[in-house]
Amino acid sequence: MRHRKDTVKLSRTRSHRAALVSNMVTSLFKYERIKTTITKAMVIRRDAEHMISIAQKGTLAARRQVATVVKDQTVLRKLFDVIVPRMKDKKSGFISIVKLWPRHGDAALLAQMELFGAPAKVKPEEAEKKAKAAPKKKAEKKEEAPKAKKEKPEKKAASAKATADKAEKKEAKKAE
């Protein structure tokens, strides 16, 4: 029977599990959006939401309590100064989990965890495109512009030559 068996062991010892949770919760607060397996996501959500709930008290005791899990001082500061103010109207549901697809290799179902109000994502592709496109466009324009100028003067020169030839011919005709 699995009655009241609440702990998902994740094939790890107690200390290994605690370390995993600490690392994952810290990562979630640091990056606001992380990809992991659905099983880990469900385990980590519980601890992460608990940490936010404690942090909402805002007291020194709360800070010390959270610091036992979130061991990175920068992330701890971010949690209290940035993340918790964003969650002030919420009592729960700080984290959303969206199922993705089976992972190549071991077919474990992946999921994405996201903090409530996480900054909108700029697509890596678009960022790359923008980064690549911007200099390219400028370069292309620069390249194209001189070419056009070069071509135009040539054409102009050609047309000028043609007109000049015509004029010469006309003059020649006149002379005849």
Position among 2, 124, 175, 176 found at the interface with other proteins (CB under 8 A): 124
Helix, coil or strand: residue 139? helix
The position carrying tokens 């939401």 is 49
Please enumerate in sequence order all residues whose Cβ is within 8 A of that of 9, keeping only pairs 6 or more positions apart, or say none: 17
Position among 64, 71, 99, 166 found at the interface with other proteins (CB under 8 A): 99
Position among 6, 81, 125, 176 found at the interface with other proteins (CB under 8 A): 125
93 binds other proteins (CB under 8 A): no
The position carrying tokens 């200099």 is 135
Instruction: Label each residue of 42-78 as H, E or C.
Output: HHHHHHHHHHHHHHCCCCHHHHHHHHCCCCCHHHHHH
Residues 49-88 that bind other proteins (CB under 8 A): none
Burial zone of 63 (CB within 10 Å; 0-12 exposed, 13-18 middle, 19+ buried): middle
121 binds other proteins (CB under 8 A): yes
105 binds other proteins (CB under 8 A): no
Decide: 86 and 116 in contact? Cβ < 8 Å.
yes
Q: How many residues bind other proteins (CB under 8 A)?
A: 11
Give the nearer residue to other proteins in terms of CB position, either 98 or 162: 98
135 binds other proteins (CB under 8 A): no
123 binds other proteins (CB under 8 A): yes
35 binds other proteins (CB under 8 A): yes
Binding site for other proteins (CB under 8 A): 35, 98-101, 112, 114, 121, 123-125
